Amino acid sequence: MQTTWGWLPAIYLFLGGLGAGALMVAAIFEFFGERYQSDFCPTALVGATVPGPLVILGTILLIFDLGAGLREPWRIFYMFTHFSSVMTWGVWLLTFFIPVSLVYGFLEVLDTFPAARDWLRGRRWLHWTKFLWNLPLRRTKRVFAGIGLGLAIGVAIYTGILLSAVGPAIPFWSTPAFPGLHIPLMPFLFLASAFSTGESLTVDLMATLFVDGRIPRGRRVHLIHLAVITAEALLISHLLIHAFGEGGAAAEAARQIALGQHSLVFWVFVILLAIIFPFVGHLYAAGLGRHLKPSGISSGISILFSGLFLRYLILVGGIHAFL
């Protein structure tokens, strides 16, 4: 009855969600003009530059976790051709997301640090980059931000779709979002968690460290995060309540998470660190208009850790239906 899921899958799922969430925040700052309210915007800079490396690292860990894929890497290419498979959708998402996010990050670096552009221009061996000098930089960056935003949403929800696709075999993963409708809850939960962790990295941590939490329209940003935290809490509650009501393997998974062997992790590293503590911190920040350093740094770190533990708990909840 116990699953074999461990920490490695939780880590690469977390890295993918964090990268997608960070890019979502950067793209939102780009499109709503928050990026250009000051000369230096650490939220946009970090949100644009870290997603590519994070998702690349997560993909490498995924390949290591796929034993056959590691021993016979050419077999991975077969995953591109089964278009009826949810895994193939994920492979294509990552194939497009990684280069788009890397280009977006590169353009953001050039926009933030004009000296970097001058350095490239002064290197003869980089003469092939001369087309960059005539690019409408910010317009081009906005195009990649828009494409990246769509792909980031896809990457964020993809894992939830993959787990939900297991269907009746693992009832806990197949929890519906709405009674009577065959719309799975997991993609919504993974999307909310991805955005929350991305915001905690780019706003709670980076903006607090580099500009003392003073970001444009700070109240609005923190109110949005409050809404996301609330949505995440409601989704987790619905997941557990439905599982207990369904009985069988789903109820056993919920019992192990909320009351059994994983309950300490759940109540401390998810409910306390992902919901209660950051909710209070963002409520205070929304009133103040910015994070104070202690609240911003502690809130950011707690949400990042809780995002990892949430994915671990969902994976260990993958108990197969009783025969």
Domain assignment present for 201: yes
The answer to whether position 323 is within a domain reads no
Q: Which helix (H) or strand (E) holds 246?
A: helix 218-246
| Mean pLDDT, the chain, whole residue set | 87
Q: What is the pLDDT of residue 33?
A: 87
Say what the pLDDT of residue 1 is. 39
Residue 165 belongs to some domain of the structure: yes
Give a yes or no: residue 1 inside a domain. no
The domain total for the chain is: 1
Q: What is the pLDDT of residue 239?
A: 95
Establish if 189 belongs to a structural domain. Answer: yes
**Looking at the whole model, is its pTM more than 0.85?**
yes
Give the model's pLDDT for residue 162: 86
Residue ranges for the chain with pLDDT beneath 50: 1-3
Could you tell me the CATH number of the domain that includes residue 285? 1.20.1630.10
3-state DSSP assignment of residue 184: strand
What is the C-alpha separation between 311 and 190, in angstroms, rounded?
9
User: pLDDT tens digits for 281-305?
Assistant: 999 888 888 888 888 999 999 999 9
Residue-wise pLDDT for 79-134, tens only, equals 666 666 777 878 889 999 999 999 999 999 989 988 877 777 667 766 666 666 67
- DSSP H helical segments within 66-166, as ranges? 67-71, 86-112, 114-121, 137-164
User: What was the pLDDT predicted at 219?
Assistant: 86
3-state secondary structure of 197: helix
Range of the domain at 263: 7-316
